[in-house]
Amino acid sequence: MSTHPPVSILVIEDDLSVRQTLVDILELNGYRASAADNGLDGLALARRDLPTLIITDIAMPRMTGFELLTALRADEKLRGIPVIVISAKIDREATRHGMELGADDFITKPFTEDEVLHSIRARLEKRELLDELDAFAHTVAHDLKNPLATLYGRLGLLEMTLGKTTPEADLKNVAEALTAATRLSTIIDDLLMLAGVRQQHIQPTVLDTSALVAEALDRLEALLQKTGARINRPPSWPAAIGFAPWVIHVWSNYISNAAKYAGPAAVIDLGAAPSADGRRVRFWVQDHGPGLDAAAQAALFVPFTRISAIRVKGHGLGLSIVRRIVEKLGGQVGVDSARGQGARFWFELPAPTPSQPPFSP
């Protein structure tokens, strides 16, 4: 099971040839396109489908582009959708009026494919950034609040009762405070990793997968000893293209989740195999725990912007970061599981070409 919902774009244009040209451009570049030939029908489609982005003309029957913009921005469910206006002639006054109504960009006919695609990508990146800022604020407020409250509570209780209770009670308060502090540190590290993945420009190289797995296991040594988990590794690994620090983070996340949630003394199998066409390598972490039903699987690997709405205990933020990392490296993520049959969390990365060296140490 992989999670790659397509970007959906609604085209609203009364000229059939222009409308079909835009739809062809979108579909040839991997977007899911729908279309309407007037503003009123376009508004109805927008309300029904909630597209990721809208491209609209200005001069249309039944409802103009400016009237459409007014209706979109007045609708709570639609007001956040980016809108690109395409028109045969846009003067300064019309541009200013459109911007005041909430248009995000203007393209003049005749247009080129590059102009359209560049505008779409810019609008989607801006939308994603704004959504992530909102989700970041919610995550900080939500995920940091509980462990911080526990930390304050336990330290306050320790201050009030120190020397008045048994050493065992004091140690319990200290242990709870340390657990909360560790949780806070983990959340902060995850958020910093998420920010780094967005901002950092990296140069992927051919990786020594064996060394990366070994590094991840070294980082998890204390957890593996605590849970009694046993790791089985293959004698050799296929190489892949990636960025070592990020891929180590992916392995660490997958293995730690398996150790924590697959049951006591879990047996965890690590493995890898090239795809049939030799262009990708799939790596996996297989546990033999209780497994996940379809509903639980659907709540995994959600985009960071949806964490506030869909949460799976212990997985949400970490797997969202895993998804971001792997997709930025040109791969994909997923999970294969069923109740009572364990879970196999996997990620795919590009395979090296024959001319590339075995790995970059």
Do 92 and 173 belong to one domain? Answer: no
String of DSSP letters for 299-330? TSS--GGGTTT---TTTHHHHHHHHHHHHHTT
Structure tokens at 77: 């469910």
pLDDT in tens, 115-157: 999 999 898 888 777 766 666 666 666 667 778 888 888 888 8
- pLDDT at site 9: 95
More confident site: 298 or 217: 217
Helix (H, G, I), strand (E, B) or coil at 294: helix
- Going by pLDDT thresholds of 50, 70 and 90, the confidence category of residue 304 is low
Question: At 281, which CATH number?
Answer: 3.30.565.10
Task: Check whether residue 213 and residue 342 sit in a common domain.
Answer: yes
Q: Are residues 210 and 314 in the same domain?
A: yes
Domain boundary among 178, 199, 220: 199
Is 124 domain-assigned? Answer: no
Span of 102-111, 222-231, 252-261, 344-353 with lowest mean pLDDT: 102-111
Model confidence at 216: pLDDT above 60: yes
Residue 153 sits in a domain of what CATH number? Answer: 1.10.287.130
**Arithmetic mean of pLDDT, 41-70:** 91
pLDDT value at position 133? Answer: 65
Q: How far apart are CA 87 and CA 25, in angstroms?
A: 17
Q: What span, in angstroms and rounded, lies between the C-alpha atoms of 305 and 198? A: 13
- Last residue in a domain, options 111, 143, 174: 111
Q: Are residues 186 and 239 in the same domain?
A: no
pLDDT band at 309 (very low <50, low <70, confident <90, very high): very low
Q: How confident is the model at residue 237 (pLDDT cuts 50, 70, 90)?
A: very high
Name the residue with tokens 């009026």: 97
Query: Which tens digits make up the pLDDT trace of 93-121?
Result: 777 777 788 888 888 888 899 999 999 98
Same-domain status, 94 and 160: no
Residues 220, 326: one domain? yes
Looking at the structure, tell me whether residues 189 and 286 fall in a common domain.
no
Q: Is residue 126 part of a domain?
A: no
Q: Report the range out of 131-135, 183-187, 192-196 with the highest average pLDDT.
A: 183-187
- Helix or strand or coil: residue 111? coil
Together in a domain, 173 and 224: no
Same domain, 268 and 287: yes
Distance of alpha carbon 133 from alpha carbon 110, whole angstroms = 36
CATH number at residue 83: 3.40.50.2300
- Residue 169 is part of which domain span? 131-199
CA distance readout (Å), 352 to 117, 164, 356? 29, 64, 6
189 found inside a domain:
yes
Is the domain of 152 the same as that of 224? no
Average pLDDT over residues 314-338: 82
185 plus 230 within the same structural domain: no
At 359, the pLDDT band (50, 70, 90 cuts) reads low
Tell me which of 145, 173, 199 is where a domain ends: 199
What value does the mean pLDDT take over residues 281-306? Answer: 79
How high does pLDDT run on average in the chain?
Answer: 84
Element (H, E) at 56: strand 53-56
Say if 2 falls within a structural domain. no
Is residue 1 assigned to a domain?
no
Element of type H or E holding 269: strand 267-274
Q: How confident is the model at residue 166 (pLDDT cuts 50, 70, 90)?
A: confident
Alpha carbon distances (Å) from 5 to 30, 209, 232, 246: 11, 29, 34, 23
Name which of 283, 286, 282, 200 is nearest 245 in CA terms.
200
pLDDT in tens, 339-349: 888 899 999 99
Residue 308: per-residue pLDDT: 43
* pLDDT for 265: 86
Residue 125 belongs to some domain of the structure: no
Q: What is the pLDDT of residue 37?
A: 93
Edge-to-edge strand ranges of the sheet holding 332-337: 230-232, 267-274, 280-287, 343-350, 332-337
Question: CB neighbours of 280 closer than 8 A, spacing ≥ 6?
Answer: 274, 331, 348, 349, 350, 351
| pLDDT tier at 165, thresholds 50, 70, 90 | confident
Q: What is the pLDDT of residue 71?
A: 93
3-state secondary structure of 271: strand
DSSP three-state, residue 80 = coil
Please state the length of the chain.
361
Checking if the pLDDT of 1 tops 70, the result is: no
Would residue 3 count as lying in a domain?
A: no
| pLDDT for residue 361 | 43
Q: Can the peptide bond before residue 350 be classed as cis, meaning omega within 30 degrees of 0? A: no
Q: Does residue 26 form part of some domain?
A: yes
Say how many domains are in the chain. Answer: 3
- Pair (260, 219) in one structural domain: yes
- Averaged pLDDT, 197-218: 87
CB 307 within 8 A of CB 140: no
